[in-house]
Amino acid sequence: MSLSTRVRVAAVQMVSSHIVEDNLREASDLIARAAGEGARVIALPEYFCLMGRKDRDKVERREEDGHGPIQDFLAREAGRHGIWLIGGTVPLSCPDPDRVFNALLVYDPRGRRAARYDKVHLFAFQSGAEAYDEARTIAPGRESLAFDCDLGDAGTLRVGVCVCYDLRFPELTRRLAGADLIVVPAAFTATTGRAHWETLLRARAIENLCYVLACAQGGRHSNGRDTWGHSMLIDPWGEVLAERAQGAGWVAGEIDPQQIATCRARLPALDHRIF
């Protein structure tokens, strides 16, 4: 059963700190507000639970798969509000003791975990004194993920996911072709976000003729890092429907199955794929 009526979704934007407990309290408040406005699918940004002072902080706060206060928090919030909650991302243990999986976790309205995606592409960037190399503390995932959100009388919303740097690799999101919505939790740097963020998001929506919901970190963090923010909802024709530039908050809007059908009928690019 596909989506039969419009459904409201929301992207939470945060400026997470190095204190997990503070971040969870703020995330809980923002989830409650978005749910109170009718959002049935809510997504949190990458590193919502921890923006460490040093790279190894995420390794030190890692959780075993299925157990830990961050995972318990996500399950509790999903069940409390009766929503589909996409927690992007949580540091989960991996075979390498010096690294973690940067895992996006999905919980259903009863608080049960429904899906997991480990970020595949690991960010590296060098520009003067600004440098990042996620591979030092993160192990890459190997599989893409699309899943179904059962929304009862509203039908089923097909959701694909990618995380931050994954956005630059259209071959990954092309595996998600046919999804109604692609969700992109991110912590784009201010430098790369200013240059490329909106362009990449709109391209992913246009080429896959689907909605894109981007939930970002957005501001100056306690570790001194600046993230770009600009969480947004984009429709299948590439139009930005809602956007939040900076600071904690959320953006929300509706997924309209008729808009998806109209765009795909008008421009049947998905049917014309050769590769």
Active site residues: 46, 119, 164
Alpha-carbon distance of 185 to 167, in angstroms, equals 10
Contact 160/181 with Cβ under 8 angstroms?
A: yes
Per-residue buried b or exposed e for 229-243, using 16+ beta carbons within 10 Å of the residue's own CB: bbbbbbbbebebebb
Among the listed residues 72, 105, 84, 69, the one whose alpha carbon sits nearest the alpha carbon of residue 31: 84
Alpha-carbon distance of 136 to 100, in angstroms, equals 10
**Neighbouring C-beta atoms of residue 129, cutoff 10 Å:** 5
Q: Phi then psi for 5, rounded to 5 degrees?
A: -140, 170
Strand partners, 271: none
Q: What is the DSSP string of 82-128?
A: T-EEEEEEEEEE-SSTT-EEEEEEEE-TTS-EEEEEE--S--EEEET
**124: Cβ contacts below 8 Å, ≥ 6 apart:** 132, 133, 134, 135
DSSP 179: -
DSSP 154: G
